[in-house]
Amino acid sequence: MKFLILAALAYTAYGAKSAVGVCLATQVSDNADKIERMADLYASKPVLDQAMADMKKNLDLQLMQMQQRYDMFKKNLDAKIAKKALKTDLPDISKLNPGGAIFTQWGKYRCPKTSKIIYTGWIGGAYYQHRGSGHEFICMADVPTYGSHNNGNQDAALMYTCEMENSGLQQNDYKNMHDREPACCVCMVDKRDKVIMIPGRFSCYDGWTLEYKGYLMANHYSHNHTSSWICMSDKPEKHPQSNNGNQNGGLMYPVELNSGCYGNHPGCGACPNPRVPKKGQGAKGRDTFNGKWVDCLRYKNNRELSCAICTK
């Protein structure tokens, strides 16, 4: 009996030893596989490095090609602008009918169909916080020609590119122009030798031709620099070389009425008599709006003001 127990214990010990051996063999095999995979990985590292280098080279080539295409596009665009802007001389007067008038269309790069273009440009003005320099907005020709000049910085009278601030005017054409530099063009009409900007209206009076309509714009009331009141097109276009950033050079804001209405103040509730026609329905305190006769329109406090450029 004692012999049998010893034999059983010896067999059990032998079996346990065999199990440990099997486990150790399995671990060695797994580690060998891992070592082999790591060896393969390190062996392929030069291949990966070369692939990364080839990818970078390809990306650099694509970037260079994109830059070349952009430079060519900009060069062609500049050439087109310069070619168009070189038309800065007045039309041949002998080919026009007697009479004529000139006006600036603010916010457009082309004149209305009712007129002929003289030149295209960008809007220049004084810096919004400067007290000096000219106070009017002007349409600068796209391509300048210089006379006597000094390339040094004298800081005398200073001209800045002007950009639009929508300042609450939610019309999409104005919202999209926020911080953009608008275009401008100077236009000429023949036959009609009178031109007027009518503030507060989108249409002209009878007998006048509407060249374009828009909204009044000027400098912000709190800025140090005053400006003229201009009629910006109701569908303004940015200059082809407009910068989308916020440069804050010359600034133009929509104009709204702030009259402090009281009593029969003419800017609030009174009909514009005697500025209405003396004959016809206009003499009865009525006016045309979108082609229909309506009661004479009143000015509303805090509303943005419209304008119209009319010739006759």
Domains along the sequence of the chain with CATH: 93-143+158-258+266-311 (2.170.240)
User: What are 311's two structure tokens?
Assistant: 């010739």
Task: State the pLDDT at residue 39.
Answer: 62
Q: Which has the higher per-residue pLDDT, 116 or 267? A: 116
Task: State the pLDDT at residue 236.
Answer: 92
- Does residue 301 contact residue 257 with C-beta atoms inside 8 Å? yes
Q: Which residues contact 218 (CB under 8 A, 6 or more apart)?
A: 227, 228, 229, 230, 252, 253, 255
d(CA 214, CA 201): 9
Task: Encode pLDDT of 30-55 as tens digits.
Answer: 666 666 666 666 666 677 777 788 88
> What distances in angstroms separate CA 252 from CA 88, 158, 219, 247, one per listed residue?
25, 17, 5, 13
Task: State the pLDDT at residue 68.
Answer: 86
Query: Among 158-162, 166-170, 199-203, whose mean pLDDT is lowest?
Result: 166-170
**Is the pLDDT confidence value at 278 over 80?**
no
Q: What is the mean pLDDT of residues 6-29?
A: 50
Task: State the pLDDT at residue 234.
Answer: 92
d(CA 226, CA 235): 25
Tell me the pLDDT band of 70, cut-offs 50, 70 and 90.
confident
Task: State the pLDDT at residue 166.
Answer: 80
Question: Of 164, 168, 165, 170, which is closest to residue 182 (Cα–Cα)?
Answer: 164
Task: State the pLDDT at residue 241.
Answer: 81
Task: State the pLDDT at residue 272.
Answer: 46
Cis peptide before 274 (omega within 30 of 0): yes
Tell me the pLDDT band of 154, cut-offs 50, 70 and 90.
confident
Task: State the pLDDT at residue 83.
Answer: 63
3-class DSSP assignment, residue 147: coil
Tell me the pLDDT band of 108, cut-offs 50, 70 and 90.
very high
Query: Among 57-71, 80-94, 109-123, 186-200, whose mean pLDDT is lowest?
Result: 80-94
| Percentage of the chain lying above the pLDDT 70 cut | 65
Q: What share of the chain is helix, strand, coil (3-state, %, to 5)?
A: 30, 25, 45
Q: Which of 44-48, 84-88, 156-160 has the highest mean pLDDT?
A: 156-160
- Does residue 192 contact residue 312 with C-beta atoms inside 8 Å? yes
Q: Which has the higher per-residue pLDDT, 138 or 95? A: 138
Task: State the pLDDT at residue 274.
Answer: 41
Task: Encode pLDDT of 248-257 as tens digits.
Answer: 888 989 998 8
> What distances in angstroms separate CA 202 from CA 215, 247, 279, one per listed residue?
9, 31, 22
Q: What is the mean pLDDT of residues 150-168?
A: 84
Q: Which has the higher per-residue pLDDT, 173 or 16? A: 173
For residue 199, the Cα-to-chain-centroid distance in whole angstroms is 25
**Is the pLDDT confidence value at 78 over 70?**
no
User: What are 249's two structure tokens?
Assistant: 């050079």
d(CA 119, CA 142): 8
Task: State the pLDDT at residue 259.
Answer: 62
Report the 10 Å Cβ neighbour count for 164: 25
d(CA 117, CA 159): 24
d(CA 251, CA 220): 8
Q: Which residues contact 126 (CB under 8 A, 6 or more apart)?
A: 132, 133, 134, 135, 158, 159, 160, 225, 227, 250
d(CA 228, CA 219): 8
Phi, psi of 295 (to 5 degrees): -60, 145
Task: State the pLDDT at residue 218.
Answer: 93
- Does residue 162 contact residue 86 with C-beta atoms inside 8 Å? no
Tell me the pLDDT band of 27, cut-offs 50, 70 and 90.
low
Q: Which has the higher per-residue pLDDT, 85 or 217? A: 217
d(CA 116, CA 192): 13
Tell me the pLDDT band of 4, cut-offs 50, 70 and 90.
very low
